[in-house]
Structure 1
Amino acid sequence: MYLMKDITRDGNPVLRKRAAKVKFPLSKEDQDLAKNMMKYLEVSQDPELCKKYKLRAGVGLAAPQVDVSEQMAAVLVPPLEEDDDHQNNKPLFKDVIINPVIVSESVQYAALTEGEGCLSVDKDVPGYVPRHDRITLRYQDVNGQKHQVRLKGYPAIVCQHEIDHLHGMLFYDHINKQNPFKAPEGTIMIN
């Protein structure tokens, strides 16, 4: 399992590189990478284990964040408190997305009211990060199976954040430099 010491920090060139496509079937290293990235998210979202291992809670972790320049990211978006699915604790989205491509996106933007954070960025960077409110995502899972899913709101934001990592971008690249709390007109604000 990855610990905070294994997370690549802002300033490391791997975070600004375009990641390579992953070949199938997955090598043993890539299988371990996928498993360990998802394990980090699962453990980091358990308050007791998170404290025990001194982790920062995360909802996504991309391969470049553990110093592997490949198009792979683990995403685990927990259920929202007021969500009907919260009773059965079903995540809003959980998978390791490999060679992901956004095939369509809404004109409508969304942003998190508290801004975004990143396991690779230790400092707080205030400001709104405008993202597409809805996306259609095409990717392969660890078995090479192809998926196409439509995501909206928070899960769409998380996946766009992780895909940015695969293209050498960080969340603060999207923040308006002159006015960090200015978002495109009509942006849906998500708490």
Structure 2
Amino acid sequence: MIRPIVKDILFLQRKAEKASKKDSSAGRDLVETLESHHEDCVGMAANMIGIGKAIIAIKDGNKTILMYNPEITKTSDTSYDTEEGCLSLFGKRPCRRYDWVEVRYEDENFHKKKSRFKGFTAEIVQHEMDHLEGILI
């Protein structure tokens, strides 16, 4: 189900709770909502659609990756300054991002995975992970 985008700053600043298999429908809704915004969005966290669970969905090229309970386990030694926008916020804001990140997460079937993302995809992951911590750019 495609859900509306939340713009309530107080809700977005809440830290996400751990997701479980009971939250699989929330993951599907997140992917459907992300895909419905394919022209102007490359990643979403569950709180952006009103669900306070640790779930993100990102675009990696033509592929959508759904992650439950993601954790950044390693980062590059190098980082860069950039500007990012967000469907939940107006305008663009400056931020600092690592060149690559390694992430441990559970996939759509709740199997444990570990992946390394670099470049723009790493930037997307970091932005959505900030959402799970209640950090707004």
Fold shared, TM-score > 0.5 on shorter chain = yes
Partner of residue 2, structure 2? 2
Long gaps (5+) in structure 2? none
Point out the structure with the larger strand share. 2
**Is 1:35 the counterpart of 2:28 in the alignment?**
yes
Shift of 1:68: 1.2
Distance 2:2 2:44 in 1: 11
Paired residues, number: 137
Shift of 1:10: 4.2
Q: Which has the larger Rg?
A: 1
**Is 1:166 the counterpart of 2:132 in the alignment?**
yes
Shift of 1:142: 2.0
Distance 2:50 2:103 in 1: 24
Contact 2:16-2:53 at 8 Å conserved across structures? yes
Contact 2:57-2:67 at 8 Å conserved across structures? yes
User: 4+ runs of 1 displaced by more than 6 Å?
Assistant: none
Shift of 1:43: 2.7
TM-superposition CA deviations, 1:103-128 (whole Å, max 9, x none) = 0001211344xx2000110x2134x3
Secondary structure of the 2:92 match is coil
- TM-score, normalization: structure 2? 0.90
Distance 1:75 1:108 in 2: 22
Partner of residue 124, structure 1? 91
Amino acid at match of 1:165: H
Amino acid at match of 2:122: A
Distance 1:62 1:108 in 2: 25
Distance 2:41 2:29 in 1: 13
Contact 2:2-2:36 at 8 Å conserved across structures? no
Amino acid at match of 2:43: G
Distance 2:103 2:84 in 1: 21
TM-superposition CA deviations, 1:138-163 (whole Å, max 9, x none) = 10012110110111110000001001
Shift of 1:2: 2.2
Residue 136 of structure 1: which of 56, 80, 102 is its match? 102
**Which structure 2 residues correspond to residues 17-166 of structure 1 after superposition, within 5 A?**
17-23=14-20, 26-27=21-22, 30-45=23-38, 57-78=40-61, 90-91=62-63, 94-112=64-82, 115-121=83-89, 123-126=90-93, 128-166=94-132
- TM-score, normalization: structure 1? 0.66
Long gaps (5+) in structure 1? 48-56, 79-89, 172-191
Distance 2:112 2:69 in 1: 10
